[in-house]
Amino acid sequence: MTSYRQPGVVLTDHYFEVPLDHDDPTGEHIELYAREVVASAKADARLPWLVYLEGGPGFGARRFIGRQAWLGRALQEFRVLLLDQRGTGLSTPADRQTLPHRGGPREQADYLAHFRADSIVRDCESIRPRLTGGAPWTVLGQSFGGFCATRYLSTAPEGLETVLITGGLPSLDATADEVYRAAYPRIARKVEAHYARYPQDIARARRIAEHLTDHRTVLAGGYVLTPEAFQSLGIMLGGGDGSHQLHYLLENAFVRTPGGPALSDAFQEGVAAALSYAGHPLYAVLHEAIYAQDARPTQWAAERIRGEFARFDAAKTLAGEAPLYFTGESIHPWHFETDPALRPLRETADLLAARTDWAPLYDAARLAANEVPVAAAVYHDDMYVDTEHSLRTARAIRGLRTWVTDEFEHDGVRAGGPRVLDRLLALARGED
């Protein structure tokens, strides 16, 4: 272990070996990385542990500097573990560069089938005794991390002291089709709110999409910017400042050149940074698999269900006068054609989309008998996680207390971290 310091905190790097398949503990192992954080003044104190499960799937834990966001509040009483979930961050990577070690697409898909919430929870239970001496710990789950926390409650509540969930109460039984059928109307509301705030962006978005229809555009690094790829910038609208960031990106789209109007280098650079999955490819590869719980394949649900909502069809929109609707947290087959970080994984993704042996993730009976204190922030009209699905799950988990708020978007634990965490701790402890 290596320890080092940042302002006000002591950091320690941890590496753990865990089975790829926890049902085969003598088989292949992979490595997990986690960063321990403790307040400098309490570095030698005996403190309870809080493990943070990042959103995603496919994102490593956030790299904090000092006591940013919610971390400062947590460090008042906890020793914090920032876990890079399997396949992310400094844990054994899974991407276009490393997955060929597994073999072909079939072998890669079989390997990645072990990277869902069920395996992540068993990873946590494998490393918990090594850090806590067997004592239960508190889990803070953001977005997909909340899905993992709900799985934790379903299968290993003995490892939990308290569970805190922010924007991540999943439906216990909705299929991927049902998830996206609920999602597109929410996305439409976010787009309409954006255009109401920035009406000048209606013409800008149409002009950009028309340009992309007429001009094949390849960004630096090889990303092919199609009208559909441009629409996927709508994922920004789920964050607290996302609408503003999208507006500033669109306002700088064109520059006059000797050959006529062209997309500016600044715009192209910003779009490439916003759309590339190079840093988190598992988000795209496994996204629909996080909703799969039985023999029904997901079969590119987001793409299929989009066909039920004509307003999201760029070609039809541009043939008329309607505003262009951005899409949101949805992954489509064309992502694996436009993004060079995903192209080599297209067949692997197709195999995962066709898979029919997904195991259930949640145990409704066990959740109904829950005894672990649980508090959840549910963001009103969250673009990423359906509010009605979350509230239905909240009612199904015994003793869970909710805080429903429209003060924050999906990233509330980052934007208002100290207050959000403080509120959740008070709810879980019966102090609020």
Q: What are the residue boundaries of the structural domains of the chain, listed by start?
A: 2-173+362-428, 176-353
Sequence-distant (6+) residues with CB within 8 A of 400 are: 370, 374, 375, 376, 394
pLDDT digits (tens, 9 = 90+) for 126-141: 999 999 999 999 999 9
Residue 395 to residues 171, 392, 428: CA-CA distances in angstroms?
Answer: 11, 5, 15
Whether the pLDDT of residue 1 is over 80: the answer is no
pLDDT digits (tens, 9 = 90+) for 355-393: 999 999 999 999 999 999 999 999 999 999 999 999 999
CA distance 38 to 225: 43
Question: How does residue 10 score in pLDDT terms, banded at 50, 70 and 90?
Answer: very high
pLDDT at 128 (0 to 100): 98
Question: Among this protein's residues, is 40 annotated catalytic?
Answer: no
Q: What is the mean pLDDT of the chain?
A: 97
Helix (H, G, I), strand (E, B) or coil at 242: helix
Residue of 114, 287, 335, 410 marked catalytic: 410
Mean pLDDT, residues 204-232? 97
pLDDT at 15 (0 to 100): 98
Mean pLDDT, residues 285-314? 97
Whether the pLDDT of residue 37 is over 80: the answer is yes
Residue 211 to residues 65, 221, 312, 322: CA-CA distances in angstroms?
Answer: 41, 20, 18, 16
pLDDT digits (tens, 9 = 90+) for 341-350: 999 999 999 9
pLDDT digits (tens, 9 = 90+) for 152-207: 999 999 999 999 999 999 999 999 999 999 999 999 999 999 999 999 999 999 99
The share of the chain scoring above pLDDT 70, in percent, equals: 100
Q: Give the right CATH number for 2-173+362-428 from 2.40.30.10, 2.40.50.140, 3.40.50.1820, 3.40.30.10.
A: 3.40.50.1820
pLDDT at 414 (0 to 100): 86
Residue of 23, 44, 214, 357 marked catalytic: 357
Question: Among this protein's residues, is 143 annotated catalytic?
Answer: yes
**CB < 8 Å & 24+ apart, contacts of 10-19:** 10/37, 10/38, 10/39, 10/40, 10/43, 11/35, 11/36, 11/37, 12/36, 12/38, 14/81, 14/127, 14/131, 16/123, 16/126, 16/127, 16/130, 18/86, 18/122, 18/123, 18/126, 18/127, 19/126
Whether the pLDDT of residue 413 is over 90: the answer is no
**DSSP tag of 254:** E
CA distance 163 to 158: 12
Residue of 91, 119, 143, 330 marked catalytic: 143
Contact 340, 222 (CB under 8 A): yes
pLDDT at 322 (0 to 100): 96
Whether the pLDDT of residue 432 is over 80: the answer is no
Mean pLDDT, residues 305-330? 96
Question: Among this protein's residues, is 126 annotated catalytic?
Answer: no
